[in-house]
Amino acid sequence: MSRAVDHAPTAQPTTPAAPTRRAAPRRGTHAGWAGWWEALHAEWTKLRTLPGVIWLLLAIAALTIAVSAAASAAVTCPTADCNQDPAKVSLTGIELGQAVVAILAVLVVSGEYSTGMIRVTFAAMPRRTEVLAAKATLVSGLTLVAGSIAVLGSVLIARLVMPGHGFTEAHGYPLLSLTDAPVLRAAAGSVLYLALIGLLSLGIATLVRDAAAAIGTVLGLLYLSPIFAGVITDPTWHNRVERYSPMNAGLAIQATRNLAALPIGPWEGLGVLAAWAAAALLASGVLLRLRDA
């Protein structure tokens, strides 16, 4: 892909006259948590001064709620046992919201590579994995906040709308409530799902570096699996795609009914996504140390 700007200022200090206040603890006893905390603070400063971030966070919530509301309004339950899963329907918007989460995570990394800022960052904080850990904390933290709003809004709208569409006690559907354990699992799990998508995107963006290529890779990884699952007729392979692709497996957490028919259990599915995210972060951490910035 296209290389970063060639004439970006190289911020390598040539003299060892760096302020001792920062240089000393870096190699000293404060390297662990204190170093991570400093990195987190630096990343937070960078992120909160970007004008687009607040809009991305709003978009995560707004788009998720909008699509969820549309799905909740579109699905009806004319008879008892209508084979629908209201919790899953009410959280359909996550399929769109995750794309915005991916943008956020990719920008946190690729933005720095495209401007050459990454070299300043690594000059200031040579422990690269610490930087990655700080970025991961920040992305997952922000996603958890925006995702919580998105999920709560989606469930609330479904709670208001769905009883009018036949999802009533008489048809075997009690009012959606977060005190109901499976619904709580679907809701909280969807928030975690978004955070894991953020981490997966962060890892891929660190591997790929270029924003467009990274977002293409992430969305391809997420969105292609349902399409391929739809045309693969061999049951073994179909099952494998459903069980081990990040989106299909991860969204199993949204199921609240008929769990036995799912290709993978809710928490196992989320675990598969967590494994994807961990693998991406691990690979990016290793490559970050090996490659020039």
Partner 1 sequence: MTATEIMPYRSEAGPGRDGFAQLLRAEWTKVRTVRGWIVGLMLAALLTVLLSVLTAIGGQMLCSNSPTGPTLSGAACRQVPPLGPDGQPVSDSFYFAHQSLTGNGSITVRVTALTGLYSANGTAQAGVGTSGMTSGTQPWSKAGIIIKQNTTQGSPYAAMMATGGNGVRMQYNYTHDIAGDPGVAATASPRWLRLTRSGDTITGYDSTDDTHWTQVGTVTLAGLPATVQVGLFAASPDYTVTSQSFGGGTTGGGPTQATGTFDNVSLQGSGSTGTWTGTAIGGGGPAAGGPQAEQFQQSEGTFTVTGSGDIAPAADQSTGQPAEHSLVGAFAGLIAIIVVAALFVTAEYRRGLIRLTLAASPRRGRVLAAKAVVIGAVAFVAGLVAAAVALPLGNHLAYSHGAYLLPVSSITEVRLIVGTAGIFAVVAVLALAVGTLLRRSAATVTLVIVAIVLSYILSVASVLPAGVAEWLTRLTPAAAFAVQQTLVAYPQVTASYTPNNGYFPLSPWAGFAVLCAYAALALGLALHQLRRRDA
Residue selected from 26, 95, 124, 275 as contacting partner 1 according to rule CB under 8 A:
95
Helix (H) or strand (E) holding 146: helix 128-161
> Total residues at the site for partner 1 (CB under 8 A)?
48
Residue selected from 23, 54, 160, 224 as contacting partner 1 according to rule CB under 8 A:
224
Nearer to partner 1 (CB atom), residue 5 or residue 34:
5
Residue selected from 47, 66, 82, 178 as contacting partner 1 according to rule CB under 8 A:
82
Minimal distance, residue 88 CB to partner 1, in Å: 6
Tokens 């208001």 belong to residue: 160
Encoded tokens for 177: 């409530």
117 contributes a contact to partner 1 by CB under 8 A: no
Say which DSSP state 3 is in. P
126 contributes a contact to partner 1 by CB under 8 A: no
Minimal distance, residue 64 CB to partner 1, in Å: 13
Nearer to partner 1 (CB atom), residue 114 or residue 154:
114
Q: Which stretch binds partner 1 (CB under 8 A): 75-83, 124-132, 153-161, 169-177?
A: 75-83
Query: Residues, the chain, total?
Result: 293
Nearer to partner 1 (CB atom), residue 130 or residue 242:
242
Encoded tokens for 30: 């404060």
Q: How many angstroms separate the CA atoms of 258 and 241, rounded?
A: 20
Q: Which stretch binds partner 1 (CB under 8 A): 129-137, 138-146, 152-160, 222-230?
A: 222-230
Q: How many angstroms separate the CA atoms of 141 and 111, rounded?
A: 19
Nearer to partner 1 (CB atom), residue 19 or residue 51:
51
Residue selected from 234, 260, 290, 292 as contacting partner 1 according to rule CB under 8 A:
234
Encoded tokens for 17: 């006259």
Q: How many angstroms separate the CA atoms of 30 and 88, rounded?
A: 46
Q: What is the dihedral of CA 152, 154, 160, 162, to 10 degrees?
A: -140
3-state SS, one letter per residue, for 5-52:
CCCCCCCCCCCCCCCHHHHHHHHCHHHCHHHHHHHHHHHHHHHHCCCH
Residue type for 78, please?
Answer: P
250 touches 227 (CB < 8 A)? no
230 contributes a contact to partner 1 by CB under 8 A: yes
The site string for partner 1 over 138-177 (x = CB under 8 A, - otherwise) reads ----------------------------------------
Residue selected from 228, 268, 278, 285 as contacting partner 1 according to rule CB under 8 A:
228
45 contributes a contact to partner 1 by CB under 8 A: no
- Burial label for 268, CB within 10 Å (0-12, 13-18, 19+), is middle
Positive or negative, the CA dihedral 136, 140, 141, 146 is: positive
Minimal distance, residue 239 CB to partner 1, in Å: 11
Q: Which stretch binds partner 1 (CB under 8 A): 135-143, 178-186, 221-229, 277-285?
A: 221-229
Residues at the interface with partner 1 (CB under 8 A): 1-2, 5, 71, 74-76, 82-85, 88-89, 92, 95-96, 99-100, 102-103, 106-107, 110, 114, 210-216, 219-220, 223-224, 226-234, 237-238, 255, 258
